[in-house]
């Protein structure tokens, strides 16, 4: 975690450097829900006592609170992992229309290679979809620099700005120059209903402004120093963004480069000019063919692209020669890596041993307990997205009303996206058991607080959410709270009994995570 | 060792062995000595006992945050089960420090200090000043554990004959 020291340099991760850069740029409010590889951004910001930072209940709440603070007149930041943005897409899409007052930056960390994620979606498409500018740093030092740039663009062009990171940029470290905080002036809040009330009549006007803004941003992209042309050996030129640029630079230090840091809207004229200067043009990127598709649209005939097999996973120095040559990805035979597993002494072992013994079909969710799918427990059968442990149970039971089906979800995940599913189940007369595996933390991402822990991001006491009362209020017929650790027999008896009833039951299996430091 | 443009060190083992801490120490030390440093690892699920790998590169100018196969000058292995996976990073003629693992384990009283002992070993091979290492230990270790780690670091240097 970033330590504040008097030295002029620090060895910071991309996430820490980004946090530092936002702080220096006069940030006031920051909100997020934890998610690898984005978590350390808020954890680092929380170390600055003058900032107003929070773990929000989910990404939608985080986006809305941070964004509206910017509308209120202070520089604000939202951070999430790629799939977290799905949860915040609703406010994101229309905030493109309503714009900002003070600067607002949405940091989204993609996870090429799925080091700790359920899919490999590519956030760059969100720029096209939401008509928002995207900046993409390639290293921690750039993350720090780009976030300041993003705030300035946000204010000048009246737009949220997406800062796209990847695991390799977020979690790699670099020596970074430190600067002073430059407090940003608080802007007044004045009613402006045509800007901030998106009823159809006003939204039509705003949409027109968004299209005009796109054209202005494209011009900015053309002259932005973040889109940097490096002309060296002109026999080959690379167009790349993000960390791919550095893999290429390592492999071909003398080649020519167009490094796209202001990724979207594209700098078409600069791209064409670069293409005109080099003999061979090679486009390199991770995940989807985002730059590739655009260069094809521009009709640049000499451009060559990666083999499509590289749309999967991360790039790296080991594969970069194959990428440059357009060769397909080789199957690399390595001794298998050691997979993660539930920790020794983890309370989830007890619960999963019962689920396995009873031969239940278990609708799962996202968290440490997803590891219950691995041997020896092998007792978790679905994992789709945050909250689906609750709703998947209902859907499966609609297909198999008498099936031996249950749902499991963690405490933090339940608060994030499970509550609505439970209300839905109760309202629509679904039955069965939902387990809330309550280890009293957000364990998978390193143990962050949430409303159930009664502590804030800084560990200060706050209101504690009463899960039992909440589940009863949602309409559960029974809410049983028990400690599964050392009580496997009792838990098994309870599950058998509840499954035999025509009822919707929540079993809160409560035992703190072994890794929490209290 | 002759001064070279760039030093590549691969660390590997399993979650909970202090690998990230060790590579952190090297990163800060190299930075305090004025090198450009990049370090990379994945720690998404490493707390759950999975394989952990960390790459540190320092030199005058570093581009890639990752070390490619056959590019590591040094390999520091914290668990011999992981060695077969990691050895491919070593360049021809690179230095495999896996042989020091058992000695480091034998040397320390507290198993939590194995990582620091291995760093003491590594320090003998690298162009980083004593002042750089000391300052890095100041940054990376909390006051409570700093002195014990300093002692282990110093004693471990003697393992290198």
The 10s digit of each residue's pLDDT in B42-77 is: 654 555 678 889 999 999 999 999 999 999 999 999
* Spatial contact of B13 and B80, defined as CB atoms under 8 Å apart: no
Q: What is the DSSP string of A297-317?
A: HTT-TTEE---GGGGSS---T
Mean pLDDT rounded to a whole number for chain B: 93
In this prediction the pTM is 0.96
- At A12 the three-state DSSP class reads strand
Evaluate whether A354 touches A495 at the Cβ level (below 8 Å).
yes
pLDDT at A5 over 50: no
Q: Strand A361-363 to strand A405-410: parallel, antiparallel, or no bridges (unpaired)?
A: parallel
Q: Distance of CA A108 to CAs A33, A89, A102, A115, A201, Å?
A: 12, 12, 20, 16, 31
Whether the complex's predicted ipTM is more than 0.90 is answered with yes
Mean pLDDT of all residues belonging to chain A? 96
Number of residues that make up chain A: 518
pLDDT digits (tens, 9 = 90+) for A307-348: 999 999 999 999 999 999 999 999 877 777 778 889 989 999
Query: Which sign does the torsion angle of CA A255, A322, A246, A264 carry?
Result: positive
Helix (H) or strand (E) holding A284: strand A280-284
Minimum distance, in Å, between the CA of residue A393 and any CA atom of chain B: 26
**A502 in the Ramachandran plot: left (φ > 0), alpha (ψ -120 to 50) or beta?**
beta
A339 neighbors A319 (Cβ within 8 angstroms): no
* Residue of A110, A250, A447 to mutate for B, most B C-beta atoms under 10 A: A250
Q: How far is CA A128 from the centre of its chain?
A: 18
pLDDT the model gives residue A498: 98
Tens-place pLDDT, residues B82-121? 999 899 999 999 999 999 999 999 999 999 999 999 999 9
Interchain pair B45, A334: CB under 8 A: no
Say if the Cβ atoms of B45 and A5 lie within 8 Å.
no
Q: Is the pLDDT of residue A129 over 80?
A: yes
Which residues from chain B sit within 8 angstroms of residue A9, using beta carbons?
31
Distance from CA of A176 to the nearest CA of B (A): 9
Q: What are phi and psi of A498, to 5 degrees?
A: -65, -35
Q: How far is A10 from chain B (nearest CA, A)?
A: 8
CB A41 within 8 A of CB A79: yes
- Best CA proximity match to A168, nearest among A140, A134, A126: A140
- Residue-wise pLDDT tens digits, A35-47: 999 999 999 999 9
Which of A173, A317, A340 is closest, CB to CB, to B27? A173
Chain B contact present for A116, CB below 8 A: yes
Give residue B29's pLDDT: 98
**Whether pLDDT at B1 is above 50:** no
Interface test with B, best of A172, A346, A514, A515 (most B CBs within 10 A): A172
Q: Quick check: A254 pLDDT over 70?
A: yes
């Amino acid at each position: 975690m970033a330590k504040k020291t008097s030295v002029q340099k620090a060895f910071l991760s991309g996430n820490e450097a980004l946090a530092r850069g936002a702080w220096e740029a006069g940030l006031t409010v920051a909100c997020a829900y934890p998610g690898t590889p984005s978590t350390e951004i808020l954890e680092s910001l929380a170390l600055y006592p003058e900032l107003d930072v929070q773990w929000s209940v989910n990404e939608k709440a985080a986006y809305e609170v941070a964004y509206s603070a910017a509308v209120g007149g202070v520089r604000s930041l939202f951070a999430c992992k790629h799939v977290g943005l799905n949860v915040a897409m609703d406010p994101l899409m229309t905030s493109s229309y309503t714009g900002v007052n003070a600067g607002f930056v949405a940091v989204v960390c993609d996870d090429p290679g799925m080091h700790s994620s359920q899919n490999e979606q590519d956030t760059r498409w969100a720029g096209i979809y939401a008509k928002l500018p995207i900046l993409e740093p390639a290293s921690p030092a750039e993350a720090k620099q780009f976030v300041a740039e993003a705030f300035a663009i946000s204010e000048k062009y009246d737009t949220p700005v997406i800062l796209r990171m990847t695991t390799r940029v977020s979690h790699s470290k670099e020596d970074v120059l430190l600067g002073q905080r430059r407090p940003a002036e608080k802007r007044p809040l004045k009613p402006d209903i045509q800007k901030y009330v998106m009823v159809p009549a006003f939204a039509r006007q705003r949409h027109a402004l968004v299209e005009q803004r796109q054209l202005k941003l494209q011009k900015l992209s053309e002259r932005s120093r973040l889109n940097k042309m490096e002309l060296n050996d002109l026999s080959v030129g690379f167009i790349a963004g993000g960390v791919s640029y550095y893999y290429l630079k390592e492999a071909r230090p003398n080649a020519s480069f167009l490094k796209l840091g202001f990724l979207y809207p594209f700098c078409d004229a600069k791209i064409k000019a670069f293409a005109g200067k080099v003999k061979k043009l090679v486009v390199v990127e991770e995940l989807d063919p985002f730059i590739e598709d655009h260069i094809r649209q521009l009709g640049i005939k000499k451009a060559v692209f990666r083999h499509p097999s590289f749309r999967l996973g991360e790039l790296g120095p080991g594969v970069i020669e194959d990428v440059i040559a357009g060769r397909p990805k080789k199957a690399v035979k390595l001794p298998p890596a050691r997979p993660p597993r539930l920790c020794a002494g983890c309370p989830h072992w007890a619960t999963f041993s019962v689920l396995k013994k009873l031969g239940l079909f278990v609708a799962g969710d996202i968290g440490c307990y997803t590891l219950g799918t691995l041997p020896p427990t092998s007792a978790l059968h679905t994992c789709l997205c945050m909250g689906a442990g609750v709703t998947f149970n209902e859907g499966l039971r609609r297909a198999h009303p008498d099936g031996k089906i249950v749902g499991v979800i963690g405490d933090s995940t339940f608060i994030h996206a499970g509550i609505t599913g439970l209300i839905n189940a109760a309202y629509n007369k679904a039955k069965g058991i939902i387990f809330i595996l309550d280890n009293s933390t957000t364990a998978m991402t390193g143990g962050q607080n949430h409303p159930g822990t009664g502590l804030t991001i800084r560990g200060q006491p706050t209101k504690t959410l009463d899960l039992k009362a909440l589940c009863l209020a949602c309409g559960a017929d029974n809410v049983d709270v028990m400690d599964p650790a050392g009580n496997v027999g009792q838990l098994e008896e309870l599950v058998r009994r509840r499954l035999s009833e025509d009822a919707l039951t929540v079993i809160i299996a409560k035992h703190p995570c072994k890794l929490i430091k209290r | 060792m002759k001064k070279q443009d760039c030093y590549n060190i691969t660390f590997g083992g399993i979650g909970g062995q202090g690998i990230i801490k060790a590579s952190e120490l090297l990163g800060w030390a190299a930075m305090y000595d004025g090198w450009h440093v990049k370090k990379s690892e994945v720690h998404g699920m490493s707390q759950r006992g999975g394989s952990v790998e960390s790459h540190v590169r320092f030199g005058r100018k570093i581009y890639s945050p990752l070390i490619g196969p056959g590019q590591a000058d040094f390999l520091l292995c914290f668990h011999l089960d992981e060695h077969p996976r990691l050895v491919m990073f070593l360049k021809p003629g690179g230095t495999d420090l896996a042989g020091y693992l058992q000695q480091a384990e034998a040397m320390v009283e507290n198993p939590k200090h194995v990582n620091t002992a291995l760093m003491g070993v590594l320090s003998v091979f690298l162009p980083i000043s004593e002042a750089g290492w000391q300052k890095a230990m100041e940054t990376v270790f909390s006051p409570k554990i700093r002195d014990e780690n300093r002692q282990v670091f110093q004693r471990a240097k003697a393992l290198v004959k």
